[in-house]
Amino acid sequence: MIPSSVSIEEIFLLAAALFVVLAIMMFYRAVAGPTTQDRLLAVNVLGTNTVVILALLAAGLDEPWFLDVALIYALLNFLMAVAISKFTVERGGVL
Amino acid sequence: MIEAARFWAIVVLVVAGLFFTFVSAVGVIRLPDIYARAHTASQTDTLGAGLALAAVALALGWQQASVYTVLLLFFVFITNPTAAHAIARSAAETGIEPVTADSAADGDTREPSTASTDRNSSDDDGGSDVDGGETA
Amino acid sequence: MVADRTLVPLSETVTVRQTVGYAVQSGLEDADSLEVHLVVALPYDAEVPEGKQQVEEAKQLLSKARRWVTEDAGSADVTVETAVLGTERYLFGPRDYADIFEEYTDDHDLDRVVLDPEYHPGVTSSILQPLEHELESAGIPYDEAAVERPARHERLVGEGTERFDRYFALFWISFGFYLVLGDPTYWFDLVTGVAVAGIVSFSLANVTFSFPLHRIGSPVRTIRFAFYVPYLIWEIVKANVAISFVILRPSMPIEPVVTRVNARVRSGLPLLALANSITLTPGTLTVRANDQRLIVHTLIPSAREDLFDGALERAVRFVFHGRTSARIPSPRERGDAEIVGGDEL
């Protein structure tokens, strides 16, 4: 049976909040990471987390257009990771 | 009845997704070098994102938006390993040496300070700047 | 005092300048002085009028290349010889080119051949790979110049039907994608979708499919790929659970090891699928993929065992080549898997 005290939207919002906490945990690596690639990896994982948070908010707030934002964010996240890792190798070269 | 099953399925999926993302976050903080962290980063990309997005798709039901969710998941599955590979490869090309089993046999980062000093004494300084500097 | 003697066959390509530079640089690396033989092999008979023009063009190219060599050599001791080959012979296939280069290297006692990756004599399509094969069987050491390609040389493979297949496939793929994002029941989306899909397929079909499509094979592959996805997800779940146990244990018993696996899948899309699947599975991470040689970083022993058992490789072979070719020995059994040090990266 469904507990009457919580709605499914609240569960999604709670989950989004917990994902934010996890993202802040990963942020430690983005700040501390000794090499550029460590930071880049952490930011990439943060980006995936953001995509998930956006999707959870879309369900929790019933705003389906958030998923469009999530899709574009996933695209840009990928481009960011590839572009920066390419840049770190051929420093000063054309991306 | 169906509604209750759906409710609990969503709760289980969200909790499982949170669990794997949590493990991934712990791994990204704990693991000793960039290559090892990339393994655990793919946990967020696969099961963490996958289960959470599956929960969203289940909640939205059969409509346009849940097709978006599947598309989003598909996209994450294609792009993230490519990005992880690009990052690992750029780490390899900038000359970051991986901490391998024989070079780190003595310290599995349980004791961060001793592990790093051991490694510094046995390796040349190429390995020292790779060291994670564990504080977790 | 060792002299390096190099043969560089030239043709008018975008990478010819870099090839000459590479030949000079690599030749001077392991020798004090260098003798570069620049040759242009002509596919035409010199007697016909076009032949005369070809010879003229070849001579111009050679004099340009001679200047490049002196530019690149700087103060080093470099001798340049130029020649136009094939003026009294009709060159046709890669075999003929290999023969004429072999003759030339024998006559002038040359050590090696530096090939332009875009080498493209005459009007025939690229003959680099068969030419390399022929040179190999003739026992001439050759070297493919390491160049950055400013522009990809587009092969116009295939006649009408094959090009049509590409446009057709890409049109429906992009149209379907457009309708997934839009509303398939709204006339405006249908009209704009047709327009967008038409533009996309006409401008990008040759970029998207760098290989010829097969009318039966390609859809069958797509269906087999649909079977592959659940299997991959199952592998990912198993690996995720295994990695989670390791990371959450306070002692964290990781055993990071760099391995090399020679995958028996074709370069291009199959290799991409395999390398991405390996990376997607926690515990194994593809660091490099040079041709079939994958450098894989593994985190825990069980993931390494799975990698060496080659289950994913078999599944990828199933997707691209069918059930029968999936039954191959595992990388461990055929000796294609080994543990290498971190220096291999």
Tokens of C79: 């001798």
Q: How far is CA C238 from CA B16, B40, C231, C244, in A?
A: 14, 14, 11, 10
Tokens of A27: 């942020």
Position A19 confidence tier, pLDDT thresholds 50, 70, 90:
very high
pLDDT of residue C175: 92
CA-CA distance, C324 to C345, in Å (whole number)? 34
CA-CA distance, C333 to C45, in Å (whole number)? 54
C-alpha C115: how far from chain center:
15
What CATH number has the domain bearing residue C86?
3.40.50.620
Of C112 and C232, the one with more pLDDT: C232
Residues of A in contact with B75 (CB under 8 A): 71, 74-75
3-state SS, one letter per residue, for C46-110: CCCHHHHHHHHHHHHHHHHHHHHHHHHHCCCEEEEEEEEECCCCCCCCHHHHHHHHHHHHHHHCC
Residue C153 is assigned to a structural domain of this protein: no
Q: Of the candidates C132, C140, C133, which has an alpha carbon nearest to the alpha carbon of residue C102?
A: C140
3-class state of residue C39 by DSSP: strand
Give the chains touching A; criterion: ≥3 Cβ pairs < 8 Å. B
- For strand C257-262 and strand C284-290, is the pairing parallel, antiparallel, or unpaired? unpaired
Residue C293 is assigned to a structural domain of this protein: yes
Residues of B in contact with C248 (CB under 8 A): 23, 26
> Is a pLDDT exceeding 80 seen at residue C30?
no
Number of neighbouring beta carbons within 10 Å of residue C27: 26
Tens digits of per-residue pLDDT, C232-242? 889 888 888 88
> What is the interface pTM, i.e. ipTM, of the complex?
0.86
Residue C130 is assigned to a structural domain of this protein: yes
The answer to whether A24 faces chain B, any CB pair under 8 Å, is: no
Whether residues C23 and C93 share a domain: the answer is yes
CA-CA distance, C252 to C63, in Å (whole number)? 65
Q: Look at the pTM and tell me if it is higher than 0.90.
A: no
| Shortest Cα–Cα distance, B41 to chain C (Å) | 8
Position B123 confidence tier, pLDDT thresholds 50, 70, 90:
very low
Instruction: Work out how many domains chain C is built from and give that number.
Output: 3
The answer to whether the beta carbons of residues C276 and B78 sit under 8 Å apart is yes
Q: Which of A16-25, B18-27, C14-23, C209-218 has the lowest mean pLDDT?
A: C209-218
- The residue with tokens 């840009």 is A76
CA-CA distance, C97 to C52, in Å (whole number)? 20
Nearest by CB to residue B59, choosing from A26, A59, A86, is: A59
- Phi and psi at B100, nearest 5°, equal -100, 170
pLDDT of residue C126: 61
The answer to whether B80 faces chain A, any CB pair under 8 Å, is: yes
Do the chains contact at B100 and C247, CB–CB below 8 Å?
Answer: no
The answer to whether A68 faces chain B, any CB pair under 8 Å, is: yes
- Give the residue-averaged pLDDT of C205-230: 80
Position A49 confidence tier, pLDDT thresholds 50, 70, 90:
very high
Whether residues C90 and C121 share a domain: the answer is yes
Q: Mean of the per-residue pLDDT values for chain C?
A: 79
Where b means 16+ CB within 10 Å and e means fewer, C297-328 reads bbbbbbbbebbbebebbbbbbbbbbeeeeeee
> Is a pLDDT exceeding 60 seen at residue C120?
yes
Nearest residue of chain B to residue C250 (CA atoms):
B110
Q: Of the candidates C89, C76, C105, which has an alpha carbon nearest to the alpha carbon of residue C9?
A: C105
Do the chains contact at B46 and C280, CB–CB below 8 Å?
Answer: yes
Residues of B in contact with A62 (CB under 8 A): none
Whether residues C112 and C75 share a domain: the answer is yes
The answer to whether A67 faces chain B, any CB pair under 8 Å, is: yes
Nearest by CB to residue A74, choosing from B26, B29, B76, is: B76
**Residue of B6, B20, B21 to mutate, testing the A interface (most A Cβ within 10 Å of its Cβ):** B21
Residue C12 is assigned to a structural domain of this protein: yes
Whether residues C313 and C260 share a domain: the answer is yes
Residues of B in contact with A32 (CB under 8 A): 133, 135
Whether residues C7 and C139 share a domain: the answer is yes
- Give the residue-averaged pLDDT of B33-60: 86
Boundaries of domain holding C46: 3-144
Q: Of the candidates C196, C161, C160, C166, which has an alpha carbon nearest to the alpha carbon of residue C178?
A: C196
Whether residues C186 and C117 share a domain: the answer is no
Tens digits of per-residue pLDDT, C289-343? 876 778 888 888 888 888 888 888 888 888 887 777 777 777 777 777 777 766 6
